[in-house]
A and B are shown apart, each in its own frame.
Chain A
Amino acid sequence: MDNFLNLFVRSIFVDNMIFAFFLGMCSYLAVSKTVKTALGLGLAVIFVLVVTLPVNYLLQTKVLGPDCLIKGVDLSFLGFILFIAVIAGIVQLVEMVVERFAPSLYASLGIFLPLIAVNCAIMGASLFMQQRIGLDATDPKYIGGVVDAIGYALGSGIGWLMAIVALAAIREKMAYSHVPAALRGLGITFIVVGLMAMSFMCFSGLKL
């Protein structure tokens, strides 16, 4: 439980998906024009992360890891192909379930779900998890069970949501300011994200 909380807080502030690792940057920049859509995409990312990471955790520890299927065989190199298949499959499944049982949620999240299959934040979280499973158990980044994986997923997702909503709010306000013609749009957005990342650096010394 200790490690759950630790992973949760760390992945929101210290190892923030956007500001520390630039994961999910494409959709982060494309869908951050208004707060409402940003919130929708952020929630969808949390949702998919929390569903896929535990599945990928089990896949890595029970099927792909060293000595799991056959003694002396390490199948980790198949991770890329299997993780992406799991993500694409689960996104498809989630889309169908949400459409059937929660039409109102589908109306607000629906258009974002297919986008998320190729969002690097999801794949990135799975790959980071694969690295962290191999760490020493005393390392604060160690992921040692399904619960830890859920904590990491939840934290990363919330960190991502926070980042995209903050950027969307700034961009909404920025629409009223006089930005030099050549910087307008993409250029100024990059610089704003850079400044936000700088302010997030103050969490990097956080000891948990």
Chain B
Amino acid sequence: MSELFSKKNKEAFVNPLGLNNPVTVQVLGICSALAVTAELKPAIVMGLSVTIIVAFANVIISLLRNTIPSRIRIVVQLVVVATLVTLVSEILKAFAYDISVQLSVYIGLIITNCILMGRLEAFAMQNGPWASFLDGLGNGLGYAKILIIVAFFRELFGAGTLFGINILNYECIEKAGYQNNGLMVLAPMALIILGCIIWWQRAHRKELQEK
């Protein structure tokens, strides 16, 4: 059992959640992180989908790593990922149709999400299946974490709701002069909020600052 949770495996899981976060530090998978975060619900579904796909793609590639000729490895990786994404997309269409419509093309774009290719190339090609699974899980959850933070602020200040439940839209709050900021649900504020999250993180972690 101690083998399964060795120090290295634990690091593979914990690092991406904070110090080596795929979105804010490695700058991977930004497209979908920004596009699906206008509300919390699609953001969580997207985060979970990516987590599942990264974890399983990592395991599959890690199992195949010694049989893939290195010249065609990118194609093999793309095919494995595309198959998993097709599965997730069909499952979403069957069981959560509204959300799959909201996420539209961004589910399909998980295929070209750099987090996947990055983790497959950098980790799964060199490590065993269990470590790769943990690494995929950690990176997926690190990605989901940023999505949820961004979506929280955008939905709260943009629409005054969380998970569609009314939080700020009351008469007494409106009388005090507060109004929902429609700009929050549009594209530009997603970028600015993510910029501020990176600012906050780097202000606390001096070693991440760029010269």
Interface residues of A (CB under 8 A from B): 19-26, 29-30, 77-81, 84-85, 88, 117-120, 122-124, 127-128, 131, 180-191, 193-195, 197-198, 201
Contact = CB atoms under 8 A, between A and B. Distances in A.
Given A25-B30, A127-B105, A81 B82 contact: yes
B109 A124 contact: yes
Interface string B177-209: 000000100111111101110111011000001
B113 A191 contact: no
B109 A29 contact: no
Contact of B191 (A84, A180, A194): A194
A123 B198 CA distance: 27
A124 B105 contact: yes
Interface residues of B, number: 47
B172 interface: no
Contact of B192 (A127, A128, A194): A194
B191 A80 contact: no
Interface stretch (B10-18, B41-49, B73-81): B73-81
Contact of A80 (B85, B117, B187): B85
B199 A77 contact: no
Contacts of B114: 26, 118
A81 B192 contact: no
Given A25-B30, A191-B196, 11 more contacts: A22-B32, A22-B35, A24-B31, A30-B27, A80-B108, A85-B75, A127-B109, A183-B195, A186-B198, A187-B198, A194-B192
A180 B86 CA distance: 44
B87 to A, nearest CB: 10
A118 B117 contact: yes
Contacts of A21: 31, 35, 187
A122 to B, nearest CB: 8
Contacts of A128: 105
Q: Which of B90, B117, B191 has the most CB of A within 10 A?
A: B191
Contacts of A195: 188, 192
B27 A29 contact: yes
**Which 7 A/B pairs are nearest by Cβ-Cβ distance?**
A190-B195, A185-B210, A194-B191, A194-B192, A127-B105, A25-B30, A197-B188
B83 A81 contact: yes
Nearest to A82: B82
B189 A194 contact: yes
B82 A191 contact: no
26 contacts: A21-B31, A22-B35, A26-B29, A29-B27, A77-B86, A81-B79, A81-B83, A84-B82, A88-B75, A118-B78, A123-B109, A123-B112, A131-B104, A131-B105, A182-B200, A182-B209, A183-B198, A183-B202, A186-B195, A186-B210, A194-B189, A194-B195, A195-B192, A197-B188, A201-B186, A201-B188
A131 to B, nearest CB: 7
A117 B199 CA distance: 31
A19 B31 CA distance: 11
